[in-house]
Structure 1
């Protein structure tokens, strides 16, 4: 039986900075990758991106974007 997981890696319950991946057996497919423009209190920051450390740790399993 095929094992399928939907993984939310960022942006849940917030506007922007979203990232979702689908795991099918041992493969990862990145479906969406967004960014967020910072609020005024984050001086010097141009964009905010999701934490993609899970993807870097599992880079050999990424089959598509």
Structure 2
């Protein structure tokens, strides 16, 4: 199981964490009740992104390549 980064909101950190092998990302203000199920998902070998992280990544991707693009 890989570590679950817990306080990621900035796109560059999200991309860096994914490149480093993170399998899951939750936002800082995630409901504590969501932590145990998230760890269970990761322990089962699946991946997990908080919906806010997913939405943010979709928005960045949909905006298209720009100068300083993290990918």
Fold shared per TM-score above 0.5? no
Higher relative contact order (CA 8 A, sep 6+): 2
TM-score by length of 1: 0.35
The structure in which a higher percent of residues are strand is 1
The structure in which a higher percent of residues are helix is 2
TM-score by length of 2: 0.33
